[in-house]
């Protein structure tokens, strides 16, 4: 009883103190956080500078990102793509076109879909040999610039944009032709590395309908800048790592010396020398395994019985590699062998 009485007295004393100081009652446990507290918890900077370090959940999310491997050969392929596109787009538009790379990054597929600035056109391309897909995204500035150039727009004037309406059939058709040209160049860019053909599959304007990979899958994104004098825009290529998996080993190479570093003169000389090289062939009648003591005790005049019958086929070997099966005979005063058949490569390995 004394313990409960003391607790009641203590509670009464605290209540009286709060009333005297005019303090507000304790806040409710279900209080809603304001926007500043939410931004601080998520690690977003609400100020104008935006240079504060990440904190809170943002650090946890960033630390969970997968560190994707670098593919050096892919950068060479994209450099080759830029050179090809600069030529083909000039022929396609009959205008002075400059293509440059803004950057090559790795990111998750869902993050990219959420970052696409709309309106845009998304071309879904299929790589037949790899049995997977990629994306070609054309932003609105490049769409209107290409339409303006192909339909005879005057130079020196910015392309007219009419926002808030769907793309017309003419605009979609012209953009499909542009994407087809880009995919042909991408096929040619990969040709020295591996045979693959990128084919146009469909054209979408809603990123939700262009989901070619799982949201959490890693992708390689290359941002291209297309300038046509005073007009132009951005074109982006997205290739999931799952699409590049069949040629990952090739893309990990530092250079394409295996493909482009060949010396035909040296190859011809080496082939001629190999064909004229002398080798020794051994005719093997029989093989036996004997104890070392028996071999040491052999003397002049001892006989070793062969385990083959007269007329049995013999083997012709070069070193340890069996080449032919032959018949042993005599020609004039010399022993001779007549080749009966050739050993297949599989049987050579087994032998």
DSSP structure string for 28-58? PTTPPP-HHHHHHHHT---SSS--PPP-THH
Q: In a structure prediction context, what are the per-residue pLDDT tens digits for the chain, which is 351 residues long? A: 555 666 667 667 666 665 555 544 555 556 677 776 666 665 555 444 444 455 556 555 554 444 455 777 888 888 888 888 888 888 888 888 888 888 888 888 888 888 887 778 888 888 888 888 888 988 888 888 888 888 876 665 555 555 666 778 888 888 889 888 999 988 888 888 888 888 888 888 888 888 888 888 888 888 888 888 777 888 889 888 888 888 887 777 766 544 455 567 888 888 888 888 888 888 887 788 888 888 888 888 888 877 777 777 888 888 888 888 888 777 788 878 888 888 776 555 555
User: Do residue 225 and residue 322 come from a single domain?
Assistant: no
Q: Are residues 156 and 87 in the same domain?
A: yes
Q: Are residues 186 and 48 in the same domain?
A: no
Last residue of a domain, one of 192, 226, 260: 260
- For residue 116, CA distances in Å to 20, 205, 231, 326 come to 59, 11, 21, 73
The whole-angstrom separation of Cα 99 and Cα 212 is: 26
The predicted structure's pLDDT at residue 347: 56
Four-point Cα dihedral 46, 51, 53, 59, nearest 10? 70
Distance CA 139, CA 321 (A): 63
Give pLDDT, residue 305.
Answer: 79
Q: How far apart are CA 349 and CA 229, in angstroms?
A: 65
My answer on whether 244 and 343 are in the same domain is no
| pLDDT confidence of residue 15 | 64
pLDDT at 163: 60
**Which distant-in-sequence residues (6+ apart) come within 8 Å of 171 by Cβ?**
143, 147
Domain assignment present for 200:
yes
Q: What is the spatial distance between Cα 92 and Cα 150, in angstroms, rounded to a whole number?
A: 9
What would you report as the CA-atom Rg of the chain, rounded to the nearest whole angstrom?
Answer: 38
173 within domain boundaries? yes
Residue 175 domain-assigned (yes or no): yes
Same domain, yes or no, for 51 and 86? no
> What is the span of the domain harbouring residue 103?
72-260
Terminal CA-CA length for the chain = 98
Total domains in the chain come to 3
Amino acid 54: pLDDT: 53
- In this structure, are 228 and 92 located in the same domain? yes
Same domain, 242 and 184: yes
CATH of residue 326: 2.30.330.10
Domain CATH for 235: 3.40.1550.10
């Amino acid at each position: 009883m004394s313990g409960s009485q003391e607790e009641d007295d203590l509670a009464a004393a605290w209540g009286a103190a709060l009333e005297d100081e005019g303090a507000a009652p304790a806040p409710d446990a279900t209080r809603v956080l304001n926007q500043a507290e939410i931004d601080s918890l998520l690690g977003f900077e609400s100020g104008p500078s935006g240079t504060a370090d990440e904190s809170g959940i943002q650090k946890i999310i960033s630390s969970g990102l997968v560190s994707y491997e670098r593919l050096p050969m892919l950068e060479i392929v994209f450099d080759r793509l830029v050179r090809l596109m600069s030529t083909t787009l000039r022929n396609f538009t009959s205008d002075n076109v400059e293509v440059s790379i803004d950057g090559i990054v790795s990111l998750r597929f869902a993050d990219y879909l959420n970052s696409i600035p709309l309106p845009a056109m998304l071309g879904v391309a299929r790589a037949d040999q790899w049995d997977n897909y990629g994306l070609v995204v054309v932003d609105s500035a490049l769409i209107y610039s290409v339409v303006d150039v192909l339909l005879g727009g005057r130079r020196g004037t910015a392309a007219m944009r009419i926002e808030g309406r769907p793309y017309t059939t003419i605009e979609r058709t012209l953009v499909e032709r542009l994407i087809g040209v880009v995919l042909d160049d991408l096929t040619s860019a990969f040709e020295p590395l591996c045979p693959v053909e990128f084919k146009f599959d469909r054209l979408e304007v809603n990123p939700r309908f262009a989901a070619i990979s799982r949201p959490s899958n890693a992708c390689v994104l290359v941002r291209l800048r297309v300038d046509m004098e005073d007009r132009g825009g951005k074109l982006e290529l997205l290739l999931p790592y799952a699409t590049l998996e069949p040629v990952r080993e090739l893309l990990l190479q530092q250079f394409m010396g295996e493909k482009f570093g060949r010396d035909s003169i040296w190859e011809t000389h080496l082939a001629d020398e190999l064909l004229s090289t002398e080798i020794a062939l051994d005719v093997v009648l029989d093989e036996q395994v004997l104890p070392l003591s028996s071999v040491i005790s052999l003397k002049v005049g001892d006989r070793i019985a062969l385990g083959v019958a007269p007329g049995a086929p013999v083997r012709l070997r070069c070193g340890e590699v069996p080449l032919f099966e032959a018949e042993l005979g005599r020609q004039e005063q010399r022993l001779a062998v007549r080749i009966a058949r050739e050993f297949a490569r599989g049987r050579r390995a087994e032998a």
